[in-house]
Amino acid sequence: MRNILIPTDFSDNATNAINFGLNLFKYDICVFYFLHVYQDELYSEENQINRNNFKEVEKRMSDKSLKQLQDLIADLKKKYPNPKFSFRIISANSLLVDEIDKIVEEQDIDIIVMGTQGKTNNKMITFGSNTLQVLKYVSCPVLVIPEHYTYNKPKHILFTTNYLIPYKRRELKLLCEMACPYRAKIDILYVSNSNKLSLRQEDNKLFIKDTLCKNETNFLIINDNNITEAINTFVTQNKIDMLVMVNTRHSHLENILFQSKLDEISLNSKIPLLAFQNIEREIH
């Protein structure tokens, strides 16, 4: 059984991510947890709330949140009458990252599915601010669905790596099980100035190969100084359906996430991005 967490703000983009997730995992026995947090919305109404009516306003927002989640589940049960699916709802007066952290731990979440943007779209940012925070600080695989992306079966997956870290078997197994029903081909790409691998890199490469053995895998090396450009070119030329990156210390994904000027990043993902999280992080 797979436990999947999908945060929503009930925007069109969040709905698109939900539809993608339910289509992608239609062959699996899944429990979907739909989360809505409303603390930011609550405190944005400061001109309408005070100490005297705070509890009343909070109760009103809680009721509204629960009603929207219940309506969402009712619609999904009609649209996706899949006997393998179970739905749960969580409404919380909390911050998104804090609540996701708690749910990931308590419910043993396998993967988080969310859109790149929400109600507060900012076209100058590579990922929406909420998604960015989850990618940076939550220790759980995150599948990010670009705005307006139409669901396609993932037939060709690109997994970028430098082979420098020992991968989590659970995360590689997740990728294998996601790809298997669609007989997806997985290209494992190393962008480097050298074709030679160290002993550590060879061992990590072998571990990936053994873990992803159910799928057709190709191990490729591209000589290039610009990793982002090399990845973008490969995605375009090979009609990649999903990009997989690992977020760890000194990884290319970490460099992207922690850039101070995200609008200058050229990796504006136009396809779903699956981010593995290989380190524990603390919010400072």
- pLDDT single digits (tens) 78-125: 999 999 999 999 999 999 999 999 999 999 999 999 998 644 444 433
Rounded CA gap, 68 and 72, in Å? 6
Domain assignment present for residue 284? The answer is no
Which of 90, 117, 145 is the C-terminal boundary of a domain? Answer: 145
Provide φ and ψ at 146, rounded to 5°. Answer: -65, 150
- pLDDT value of position 279: 53
Span of 170-179, 214-223, 262-271, 273-282 with lowest mean pLDDT: 262-271
CATH code at position 191: 3.40.50.620
- pLDDT value of position 58: 86
Which of 101, 126, 145 is the C-terminal boundary of a domain? Answer: 145
DSSP state of 91: E
Same structural domain, 74 and 123: yes
- How many distinct structural domains can be found in the chain? 2
With a pLDDT cut of 90, the percent of the chain lying above it is 58
For residues 227 and 259, is the Cβ–Cβ distance under 8 A? no
Give every strand in the sheet of 30-37, ordered side by side: 85-92, 30-37, 2-7, 111-115, 142-145, 273-277, 242-247, 156-160, 185-192, 217-223
What confidence category does residue 132 fall into, taking pLDDT thresholds of 50, 70 and 90?
Answer: confident
Same structural domain, 59 and 138: yes
Domain assignment present for residue 36? The answer is yes
Same structural domain, 118 and 13: yes
The number of C-alpha atoms within 13 Å of 122 and in the hemisphere containing its C-beta is 12
- pLDDT value of position 167: 84
What confidence category does residue 128 fall into, taking pLDDT thresholds of 50, 70 and 90?
Answer: low
The domain containing residue 97 runs over which residues?
A: 2-145
Rounded CA gap, 164 and 207, in Å? 12
Same structural domain, 8 and 111: yes
